Structure formats: structure tokens, C-alpha cells
Structure 1
């Protein structure tokens, strides 16, 4: 059975998501390492991805860790600098699939407010046929529920979905439901997979 929809993760597939890299630039690697060893900012961000308010979560975390208050607030104030830049080759692949009338979905762990912040800066985030954003769904990858809800909403069989994600646990959860998958480690490998599947021509798969 052929592919009926291509499903893109967003962070580190279409947009680089490297908070540590930004903190290294702003406060230095040594201080960043000390902060991340003390405060689990990714757990805070997981709550945002499950639908809790972005500003409230960062403010709450900063208040609970006064020694790092200003640095933690950068997670809010500098968020667009952490979620950047776009990965141009991946964006080209997305748009070329759509030109071919291949259904293209987003399935991403992303907060409600942060997705709204990102859309004006990255217009391709508005170009999906369907967007499954964890903050709006109240559940994150790799919970099996989020994949089940995608299937129920789009009405497609699992084996007709081809999903690209940079995290192995998210890929394994999709595989367990019968999805076809690609562990993303760069846009060229993803382009090669789309070419192999006959979804794009060699010219369309180029950067």
C-alpha cells in the first residue's frame, strides 16, 4: 500500500531547536551547563508542549529558582533565537510535496503560544494540510494516544503514513502503530527517502 500522507516533525526537522546553543552564546557554556544541571528546563518546556501557558510556566520556573531567574526568563524572551534558523532544504521538500498534491501533515511537540509566535516568522508552518500540535491536543509524543488521534482525525491507515522525526523514541512509537518512518538526521537523508518512495523527482528532492 502506498504513502498517502507525509508527516513532518517540526523541531530539528524544519526548524533548528537548540536552546543549549543559544545559552552558550549568551551566558557561556560553563554557566549554561551549571544552570541545566540545577534546573530541568526541558521538563518545564514539556509542560508548555502539553498545553500549559508559555509565559506562566517560564515565570513559575524562574521564581522557583531565583539564582537563575534572569537566565530562565531568556527561555521566554529569546525563544525565537532558540527556535532558529529554518532548515531550508526541508522546507523545499515540504513545498515540493504539496506541489505534487501529496498530503503533508505536521505532528509536533509544540506549545500553543510558541506555535503562534513561530508562524509569522516561519510562514511554511501554515502550509500543512493538517497540523497536529501537542499543545492544542493536550498530549505529546511519544505517547501512543497522539498517534491514535492523528489516525482517527485524518482517516488514513497507519501504513500509509510516512513520518519523519529526529527522536528515536518518537519514531519507535509510530512504528509500533504501523506507521512508516524515517529517523531524521539531516535533510539530505530525508530527501533521499522521499525520492526512494517515488514521492518526489530527483530535481524536486534537491536543496
Structure 2
């Protein structure tokens, strides 16, 4: 007796599991198809068959607008939750700099010099092109060429040692631009 009950229970679980695993949308669409088969089985004329097809079309649209739409909306909500939240304001969008941009940033942070009373020139490191950094020196009249040359040589060494640490020394190029400070009008 117990074996029979276990057998019946197992059979019910095997048969019922696939049916209960259907989504409401799939269940609705399957019901419409079953209704169509029943309607076509009772149809006598071609007009009856056309009426069955029209009824099926209307019921399918109702499923798509009802249960299927609810499923799509729920899926969209799940997808939105799993997406990383991207800030809506400008300036907050994540950005990964290129290798040369990163090198220019770090080199400029280490080497940038502003003009002062004892040093009448400024030094900045900027990106010239995707493989080249430019050491830009702007000097006032009477600035020591030797002092500027030492600063440029030091900047070259720092840039190349930083590039070497990252494995970029094979392709990084360095330019120098020495310019007088523009006269103020």
C-alpha cells in the first residue's frame, strides 16, 4: 500500500513539475493554443475556422499585453538592478585614461614647476600625440638656459623611468618645447 502511494506521488510530481515550471505568459499562450484546437475541432465551415483564428489572435494579443508584458517589465527591473548605476551628471561618468594620458598626468604631477622670482620659467608635461609627451618650458627674458636644460633633462629621466616601470619605454617619445612667455598687452 505504501509503495503504491509513493509510486503515485512520484508520478504526480514528474507530471506536474513541467507544468508548474511554465511562466504565466507561456501558460496563457498554451491555453490559447488549446482553445484553438478545441474550437477547430467543433468548427463546421470555413467561416467557423476563420472565427476560431480571429478569436485566437485576440486572445494571443491579450496574453502579450497582459501576462507577457508583466514578465517583460519584471525582467527589465531585474536587469536594471543588476546593471551598474551610471551617474547621470556630466563629469561623473567612469573614464579610463589611455597609457599616454596616464603617463602625462603622473609626470606632470611630479615635475610641474611654476615660474617664481628665483626660477623665471615654468615647466609642464602634456600629451602631444598618442605616443608622445611634450615637456613645455615657458621662460621670461633673462632665464638661465643652463637651469632650464637641467630641468628638462631631469624631466626626461623621470618620464622614462616611469614609462619603464609600466613597460611603456619602448614606444614613449618625448618632445621639448621652449617658448618665451607671451607679452601681456
TM-score interval (norm. to shorter): under 0.3
Higher relative contact order (CA 8 A, sep 6+): 1
Q: TM-score, normalised by structure 1?
A: 0.19
